[in-house]
Chain A
Amino acid sequence: MSIDFLAIAPEIALTVTALIVLAADLALRGEAKQLVNPIAAIGTVVAIVFTVILYGSERVTFGTMFVVDDYAVVFKLLFLGTLLAILGISWRFFAEGRYFQGEYYFLLLTAFIGMLIMPSARDLLLLFVALETVSIPAFVMAGMRKRDLYSSEAALKFFLIGVLSVALMLFGMSLVYGFTGSTDLVEIAAALDGETASVPLLLGSVMLVIVGFGFKVSAVPFHFWAPDTYAGAPMPVAAMLAVASKAAGFAGLIAIAFIAFEPVADVWGPVLGILAIITMTIGNLIALQQRDLIRLLAYSSVAQAGYMLIPFGLARTGSTAVNEAAVQAVLFYLVAYAVMNIGAFGVAIAVNRRTGLRSIRDYAGLASRNTLLGLGMTVFMLSLGGAPLTVGLWAKFAILQAVAVEITLFGVILAGFLVLNSVIAFFYYLRVVKTIWMDEAREGMPALQPGFNLSVVVVILMAGTVLLGVLPGLVTDYSSVVSLLATS
């Protein structure tokens, strides 16, 4: 069996970078240790170049396990872009705190290798390995502050719920293997297609597999770790968990749901739809009462996961048009979500880094203290809520568009909940905006020094939020070419 090395070039680039980072951390001393950040960034750029080269081609390697098509490439670019942004907001945070920097960057890169594999994986085994490659470094990163009680509590909660959901998922996978005799997603779909009567045990095992990814995207019955882990972990790690790790979960869920279990979509579709309703409603309602900005962002990210689960609720067996639209809606929402949410975390890091301030009240008068950060937070909050002129509006519009492909009663109910929840969500997003612009800053607040990298990242993401809000075609034209189902 020959291996197509160009197909896995982005992963190899990141692996080599991770090893270089580890070695560099060993060689560098003291202040110089922070140079591992630019090294990691250079490696990421190399990986991006390789990914761009892969665009437009279709490559299959490792048997049929690993597929690189436009769908996978778009996902990989999303991950690598996220990685660059996270590196930008991490630099000062880790250089000034007392952290083991080299280990952090090594673990971060390792987690992203798993994410790059995720959209390409076409086999249960590879999906499992990719999921664990994302999870295990993330467990360690959540506990990076070794002497901090909150950090170790965050890691413990994340770990226990993580391993439990992985064990449930594996049990489901083993039963699916028993039913179909294969771990290849396409072959599973073929075997399930022949199944005339739906066996309850089979459907149960399908649900178990979905549980594992439900944990990664923090859908509601499995969301308990999210707020505590985000609040306790170092903030750049929280940003990574909220955006990249969630996107990886969705990449896996899309592959599992729309390729392997497409023949039983009539069963899991409504279940995930109801899960979407519960997730967004509970996420938003709890977010209303948060006083800590990071916990607010955590519950908002739970709610956003609910919005992104809506297209899964629309899925129908054998209806390619609907499923295709659903996948594209999720993909567009993920891009929009990454842009606006990393930005929000970036501003939170700038406020928190030297001072440790994290309550929403501490953001009072942010706009007068630092116009760029205040403006940035405003744009990101409005976008997360879905205000016009920001990309958030078009993300929600994409979901409604997927609903409209084939109007069903359930689809209309889902859309109704989406609109209702957007209204609830605006309340708490706008409260933050009000605090930033209208409340007086408290006396004796230290000056904010966001640093060059963080400012650049915030400006770029802010520009991206507005630009995509005015010209959503920049991404939608692109993602409509991307078709997962036609190629599988």
Chain B
Amino acid sequence: MSLIGPLLLATFLFCVGIYGIIARRNAVLVLMSVELMLNAVNINLVAFQNVLFPGEEAVSGLMFALFIIGVAAAEVGVGLAIVFNMFRNRATVNVDDVDLMRW
């Protein structure tokens, strides 16, 4: 199997994620974009492990992907709580409205 397919998919997802973070103003959608970027990383890791280093004793790529899934869940949990708290205080989740402090 060739690496081209998975790597292209991962790069595409990663770029979509970066675009989302820059262009989206809704904090929840920004969170989703971050998730896309993390999933791109997972695709990378699993593809490298299976194509470049198959049958190795140390499955560090797969382990890494598992840890990223776990940590990403924790991160999004905390992130949603922060966004939710923001919404309760200010009735908005638009990141442009978060501008009390500058310089």
Contacts and interface: CB of A to CB of B under 8 A. Distances in A.
Max chain B Cβ within 10 angstroms of own Cβ: one of A129, A149, A171: A171
B98 A167 contact: no
A110 to B, nearest CB: 11
A232 B82 CA distance: 14
A436 B16 CA distance: 52
A470 interface: no
Contacts of A289: 103
Contact of B44 (A143, A149, A175): A175
Contacts of A430: none
Contact of B64 (A125, A139, A160, A227): A125
Interface string B60-89: 110110011001001100110111011001
Interface string B11-44: 0001001000100000100110010011011001
B100 interface: yes
A148 B95 CA distance: 17
A350 interface: no
A171 B44 contact: yes
B71 A128 contact: yes
Given A167-B17, A181-B52, 15 more contacts: A125-B63, A125-B64, A128-B71, A153-B100, A155-B85, A164-B37, A170-B37, A171-B37, A173-B64, A174-B45, A177-B48, A177-B61, A182-B58, A182-B60, A289-B103
B40 A171 contact: yes
A207 to B, nearest CB: 15
Contacts of A228: 101
5 contacts: A143-B85, A163-B34, A177-B60, A177-B64, A232-B101
Interface residues of B, number: 41
A231 interface: yes
A149 B63 contact: no
Interface string A104-126: 00000000000000000000110
B44 A167 contact: no
Contacts of B81: 140
Interface in A327-385: none
Nearest to B85: A152
Interface of A: 124-125, 128-129, 132, 136, 139-140, 143, 146-150, 152-157, 159-160, 163-164, 166-168, 170-171, 173-175, 177-178, 181-184, 227-228, 231-232, 286, 289, 295
Contact of A124 (B64, B86, B101, B103): B64
Given A152-B82, A181-B53, A170 B41 contact: yes
Contacts of B53: 181
A168 B40 CA distance: 11
A153 B98 contact: yes
Contacts of B101: 150, 153-154, 227-228, 231-232
A267 B34 CA distance: 29
B75 A136 contact: yes
A326 to B, nearest CB: 29
Nearest to A299: B103
Contacts of A181: 52-53, 56
A228 B37 CA distance: 25
Given A125-B64, A157-B98, A159-B78, A164 B34 contact: yes
A74 to B, nearest CB: 28
Given A143-B82, A156-B86, A177-B60, A136 B95 contact: no
A183 B89 contact: no
Nearest to B17: A167
A132 B70 CA distance: 11
Contacts of B31: 163
A152 B86 contact: yes
Nearest to A167: B37
